[in-house]
């Protein structure tokens, strides 16, 4: 018995899981589209590039090792015998050896940065801003996928609702045909009346067939966008946006402009560091003939040199000043482009807000129109049953009601889509 209960639990749990998988939200489609897009891998690549560049910049603090070798031949060297031979010292001429004309050297030169004026720190900050800009641009490119997802998602919702309505009307027509068949056999109505209803039934079946073909096509596209195999039985949830938020723009594209301005600020600090003094230490380990600066020693021997120094560009002919002016002009360009994009987005929001108001107004009249059309269709049905109108006149009212109901669903789904598009223009998420 326990095994039976366990098996029943597994079956019920599995069925609930399957049912849960048959429901898909718009936010879920966004997330899956982001995850499956090839662009999503770029963020990690940019991060790896930044880490490599950052490590290279940090290595600027490590000592620089250079191996050097040279051979020098001097055609003229100091003749010490002439300089010292005149001294009143007997036999000094024979003790003084001539300086060698050749010099042989192999050295290992070591240079160590002690103070760089903040250049490395500024360069690292500039690389960090470059990383943030690349990632924000990637986010902006991914954000554009929402437009495609919205289009196919709401089109599928509209097809589902249209299919449901067409099936309902097909059932009504089928029942009407069934009820009239017996009357036609007894001669109470014309056979042509049934033909008219059958013709309408065939039209509905054609529309249902076309609906199914379009849905399969859209499902393939949405499946490719989201990287998920979406079954025809999946139900798409209509997103509910109760209130339109204030027009506060947080689009990724606007964030790019802000980051580019910060990048220029970082470049200003790097430019400023070029005028700062730099201190460094150095050492040379060598082996040569003569060793080091000991020109009186004509033999190969090791030697070393230690020292420290500084460098300060005290005048650069206004080069840094001109670079700062260029940066300032670029910042002005960025501000102008950001303002232009902001104005364009606000115009889009105004247009979308008007569209939302128009659809809300249409929905209010649609509800009233459907109620009226249902009463007219019911009255026409009674009149047809009583023989006061023809079946064609009845079908005209029937189709008018169907059109009113379908228009209501179109307006309802388009309103939800317009509200979502309003959020997307703002850069806000679905709450």
Convert the pLDDT of each residue in 218-273 to its tens digit: 999 999 999 999 999 999 999 988 777 677 899 999 999 999 999 999 999 999 99
Helix (H) or strand (E) holding 249: none
CB 34 within 8 A of CB 145: yes
pLDDT of residue 420 exceeding 70, the answer is yes
CA–CA separation, 427 and 197 (whole Å)? 50
Q: What is the mean pLDDT of residues 404-413?
A: 94
Residue 320's pLDDT is 87
Q: In what order do the strands lie in the sheet with 102-115?
A: 64-73, 102-115, 278-289, 301-311
pLDDT of residue 13 exceeding 60, the answer is no
0.85 exceeded by the pTM?
no
Angle at alpha carbon of residue 27, lines to 25 and 30, rounded to 5°: 115
Q: What is the 3-state secondary structure (H, E, C) of 414-427?
A: HHHHHHHHHHHHHC
Q: Tell me the average pLDDT of the chain.
A: 87
CB 238 within 8 A of CB 414: no
Q: 69 by DSSP, 3-state: which?
A: strand
Question: Any bridge partners for residue 38, and if so which?
Answer: none
**Contacts of 397 by beta carbon, 8 Å cutoff, 6+ apart:** 373, 376, 377, 380
Residue 350's pLDDT is 93
Residue 292's pLDDT is 83
Residue 186's pLDDT is 64
CA–CA separation, 259 and 265 (whole Å)? 10
Question: Any bridge partners for residue 102, and if so which?
Answer: 73
Convert the pLDDT of each residue in 103-145 to its tens digit: 899 999 999 999 999 999 999 999 999 999 999 999 999 999 9
CA–CA separation, 137 and 339 (whole Å)? 18
262 Rama class: left (phi>0) / alpha (psi -120 to 50) / beta: alpha
């Amino acid at each position: 018995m326990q095994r039976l209960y366990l098996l029943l639990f597994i079956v019920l749990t599995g069925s609930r899981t399957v049912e849960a998988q048959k429901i898909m939200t718009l936010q879920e489609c966004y997330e899956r589209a982001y995850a499956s897009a090839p662009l999503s891998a770029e963020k990690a690549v940019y991060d790896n590039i930044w880490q490599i560049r950052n490590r290279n910049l940090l290595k600027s603090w490590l000592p620089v090792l250079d191996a050097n070798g040279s051979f020098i031949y001097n055609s003229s060297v100091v003749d010490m015998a002439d300089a010292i031979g005149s001294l009143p010292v007997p036999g000094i001429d024979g003790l003084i050896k001539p300086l060698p004309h050749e010099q042989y050297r192999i050295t290992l030169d070591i240079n160590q940065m002690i103070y760089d004026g903040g250049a490395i720190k500024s360069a690292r900050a500039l690389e960090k801003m470059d990383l943030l800009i690349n990632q924000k641009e990637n986010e902006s490119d991914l954000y554009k996928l929402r437009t495609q997802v919205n289009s196919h998602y709401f089109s599928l919702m509209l097809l589902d609702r249209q299919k449901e309505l067409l099936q309902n009307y097909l059932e009504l027509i089928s029942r009407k045909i069934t009820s009239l068949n017996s009357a036609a056999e007894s001669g109470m109505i014309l056979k042509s009346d049934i033909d008219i209803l059958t013709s309408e039934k065939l039209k509905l079946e054609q529309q249902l067939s076309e609906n199914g073909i379009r849905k399969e096509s859209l499902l393939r596209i949405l499946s490719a966008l989201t990287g998920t195999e979406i079954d025809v039985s999946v139900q798409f949830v209509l997103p509910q946006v109760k209130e339109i938020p204030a027009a506060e723009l947080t689009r990724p594209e606007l964030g790019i402009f802000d980051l580019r301005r910060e990048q220029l600020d970082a470049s200003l600090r790097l430019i400023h560091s070029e005028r700062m003094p730099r201190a460094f230490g150095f050492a040379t380990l060598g082996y040569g003939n003569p060793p080091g600066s000991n020109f009186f020693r004509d033999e190969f021997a090791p030697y070393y040199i230690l020292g420290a120094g500084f460098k300060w560009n005290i005048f650069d002919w206004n080069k840094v000043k001109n670079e700062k002016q260029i940066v300032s002009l670029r910042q002005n360009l960025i501000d102008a482009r950001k303002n232009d994009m902001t104005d364009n987005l606000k115009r889009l929001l105004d247009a979308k807000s008007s569209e939302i108001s128009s659809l809300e107004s249409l929905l209010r009249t649609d509800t009233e129109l459907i109620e009226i059309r249902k009463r007219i269709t019911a009255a026409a049905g009674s009149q047809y049953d009583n023989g006061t109108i023809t079946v064609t006149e009845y079908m005209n009212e029937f189709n008018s009601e169907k059109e009113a109901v379908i228009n209501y669903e179109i307006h309802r789904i388009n309103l939800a889509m317009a509200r979502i598009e309003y959020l997307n223009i703002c850069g806000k998420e679905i709450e």
